Every structure is written in structure tokens, then in C-alpha cells.
Chains A and B, each alone.
Chain A
Amino acid sequence: MTDHDDIDMLAAEYVLGTLDAEERAEVARRRRHDADLDARILAWEARLAPLGDEVETIAPGPDLLVRIERRIDALETQPDDTTDDRRETGNTDGTAQVIALRRRLGFWRGCAGLATAAALILAVVLIVPFNETPNAPPLVAVFQQDDQQPAFMLSVDLDSRRLNVRPVTAKPLPDRSYQLWIKAEALGSNPRSVGVLNDNLSLPADALSDYDPELLKQATFGISIEPPGGSPTGQPTGPAIHGYLYATDQDAVSQHL
């Protein structure tokens, strides 16, 4: 009885928030395998929840969702992540160079053309300083092949709306083409093709000239592996990797994942 009381008060104070850091850590550990404690915590959360009704709702800053999604993207591609991922381990041929990424379903999953695709490959986005280029474009996206090596790099000069795609470790694939896609809220739920990469794995610099700079800042980009000449359906049909644009100023560089 006394034990039950103690456990119940531990749960109650945990929910109330009055335990110190060590006690809180201990309760958080213990509840994972102590069903009684966990149930008591949930019961206290339900009892006290109406107290929170008097909290004033406050909208977070507009950038927070983007931060959260980037963080999720980063976690989703970490090797030790044990959420429900299935890994693709093949790494023996040219295609595997990109496909050897962990299989992930994410931001691009909702796209109609991709709903049934067996594998979507998402990329961690790294911020890489363009020190070697004196006229560095202000924004860069990196399509990463694995946790160390970028597969492609995309840079966009917003003022002139000129783009530069270049392979970093990606190689031309026999009987396959790489295709660059853009996806943004303003464009609806499906990605749009920016273009099919040529034999040198690049694109005409004016491929993005129809897009508004503000839209480009918010957009994500994907590169998918398609049949020769590009997707026959107008939507990505093969595995895709994606990236966000990042500013290449000092602040952005310091956000390096």
C-alpha cells in the first residue's frame, strides 16, 4: 500500500514537474519497462491536463517547421537509427552508388507518382562552403550518397536564377538517366521536372529561370534514377534523393550537420 502510494506520488510529481533532473531521468528510464508506473504517469497526465487549458497559445516562428523537418531528415539517414527502416545494403554496381542509401520514405512519399515506388532514397543535406569558387552562388543543395560523400551538388544564384548541378561522386549509369525535380508548396503536391541530366551529369544553367526566387528558397529538390531520357510518366518513377537549398554564408556553414 505504502509502496503503491510512493509510486503514485513519484508518477504525480513527475507529471507535475517538481522532481529534480536525476529523479526525472530515473523515472523516464523506469517507465519504459514498468507498466504500472507508466500507467500511473498517463493517469496523472490525464488528470492534470486541463490545467494546461489556460496556457496562451503562441505560434512558433515561421522557420521552426523547416528546422524540424531537416532534423528528421538528418536522423532518418543516420546509420544507427533504429526506427522502422529497412536498409539497402547492395553496393556493388553503378546504380548501387546512389541506391545503397538506406531506404526511406519521407517528404516525397505523398507524391502520386511515387506512392507505390518500392524505394525512395532521401538525402542528408550538408552545407559545404564553396571556398574554391570566388563568385560563390548564395544557395547550395547537396544530394548525399551516404553519410560522408555527396552524390551531387546543386547551386542556385537567386538573382539570375541560374543553376549549376555537378556530380561529386555520382557516375553516369548505363541505360539510366538522372532527373532533377523541384517540389514546393506553391507548386502543389507533386514534384515538377527541372530536367534530365545530360551525359556530363549537368543541366542547362537556365533550367530554373521560370521559377520565382522566393519559391526557390522554400523548395526541395530531388534527383531520381529514371529510364534513359527521363521519366515516362512526368513524375519520378525511380529512387530519388533530395536536398534543400542552403545559404552559403557563414551562419549557414555553421549549421553543418
Chain B
Amino acid sequence: MSDASRRSPRRSSIAADDASAAPSTAGERLPELLRRVAQRDRRAFEQLYAATSAKLYGTVLRILKERGRADDVVQEAYVTIWQKAAQFDTGRASPIAWMVAIARHAAIDELRRQPRAPHEPEETLAHTPAGGPSAREHLEHEQDAKRLHACLEALEAERRDMVRLAYLDGWSRADLATHFEQPVNTVKTWLHRALKQLKGCLAP
């Protein structure tokens, strides 16, 4: 733990900078860029894309696993961002969270419309970080992230895996039921318990 916290400031700055050509100011620039995009400023849109596309693309590709499908979904996500930038409200979400949410929802919608072949979830699991220090190395919003990961640690292991596989890899209830060899309704119950437990744990 002391090791992780000692390392996290450096790591977090790397994570925040990954997707940007103008590192230290990327996070601060996003609200301004979105504001200009809302005024239909194409140059700002290009800068916003440069600063965020690797994050969105990584998120979508992890869910869809195929570049072709990820291209289509990320394209539509940025079109949505262009169209809805005026609706973005800094008081309600951070710019990157808002943008990632648009891309994630688009990816999951696409996956639900056309699921992957049934054997793929097992392959995915091998690449899924199991948590622990390595998962903490790329924290962007340290405080929130530390709290969430502490709360995840408090979950039963299987439920924690379910939450992570659903959120990061787009697994459906049915995918989870197959993998964890449980009826779908049990999975739903477990997910609800896990989510309520997380919410309670995160409550101020």
C-alpha cells in the first residue's frame, strides 16, 4: 500500500497524459475545448479528438475486440459529441467521463445488437486485470479511484470480477451466468447486491 501510494502521483500523471500532445494541461483544457466545440469550432474539435481519442478508442476496443467495429462506434461517438457538446454541463460530469460514457454506451449498444461469438468471453478473462497494485497504476482521479478500488476490494471476489467484466469488457448478464455457472437471475441478484454495496461504501 505504501508502495502504491508513493508511486501513484507519477503514475497518474502518465495516465492523464497518455492521450494528449500537450500533457500537463490536457485535463484542464477539455472543458474549454468542449465549450468551443459547442460553438461549432472545428479546430477545437480536432484538438479535443487528439486529446481524448486514444482513451475512447481503448475503451471501445476493449469491449468490442474488433478494430472495424471499434472504428464505427468511435466515429459515431465523436459525431454525438459534436452534436451534443452544447448539452455538456461541467456541474454534472467531468468532460472525459462524459465522453467516455458516450463511447461506452455506444459500444455496449453495438455489442448487445450483435454479440461476439460465445467462446470469446473466456479468452477475454485471461486479459482482465485481477485488481491489486497493477490496476492502480493508471489512476487518473486518485481520490475517487482509491475509494472505488477500496470498495471493490470489500466485495466478494466473484462479484468484484462480475462488476469489472461487465464494465470493462461489456459482458452481459448471460455471459456472466455462463462463466460463473449461475442462473441469470442469480447473476442479477449478485450484481444488484454488489452495486448497492459499492454505493453504500462510496457514500460520503
Contacts and interface: CB of A to CB of B under 8 A. Distances in A.
A57 B59 CA distance: 7
B176 interface: yes
Interface SS of chain A: helix
B69 interface: no
B163 A83 contact: no
Nearest to A107: B42
User: Which size bracket describes the interface of A in this complex?
Assistant: 35 or more
A47 B148 CA distance: 7
A213 B162 CA distance: 52
A205 interface: no
A42 B92 contact: yes
A68 interface: yes
A13 B196 CA distance: 11
A257 interface: no
A71 B80 CA distance: 11
Contacts of B129: 54
Given A20-B172, A59-B53, A60-B74, A75 B43 contact: no
Nearest to A61: B71
Interface SS of chain B: helix
B108 interface: yes
Interface stretch (B27-35, B117-125, B135-143): B135-143
A16 B195 contact: yes
A76 to B, nearest CB: 9
Contacts of B100: 49, 52
Contacts of B54: 57-60
Given A53-B140, A68-B49, A60 B112 contact: no
Contacts of B105: 24, 28
A1 interface: no
Given A18-B172, A55-B168, A59-B54, 19 more contacts: A12-B199, A13-B191, A13-B192, A16-B167, A18-B171, A21-B109, A47-B199, A50-B144, A51-B168, A54-B138, A56-B58, A57-B54, A58-B57, A60-B53, A60-B54, A64-B71, A67-B71, A68-B78, A110-B43
Interface of A: 8-9, 12-13, 15-21, 24-25, 28, 42, 45-61, 64-65, 67-69, 71-72, 75, 83-84, 105-107, 109-110, 189
Sorted nearest first, the 6 A-B pairs with minimum C-beta distance are A50-B145, A57-B54, A21-B112, A58-B58, A60-B57, A17-B108
Interface of B: 15, 18-19, 40-43, 45-46, 49, 53-55, 57-59, 61-63, 67, 70-71, 74-75, 78-79, 82-83, 86, 92-94, 97, 100-101, 104-105, 108-109, 112-113, 129, 135, 138-141, 144-145, 148-149, 163-164, 166-168, 170-173, 176, 188, 191-192, 195-196, 198-199, 202
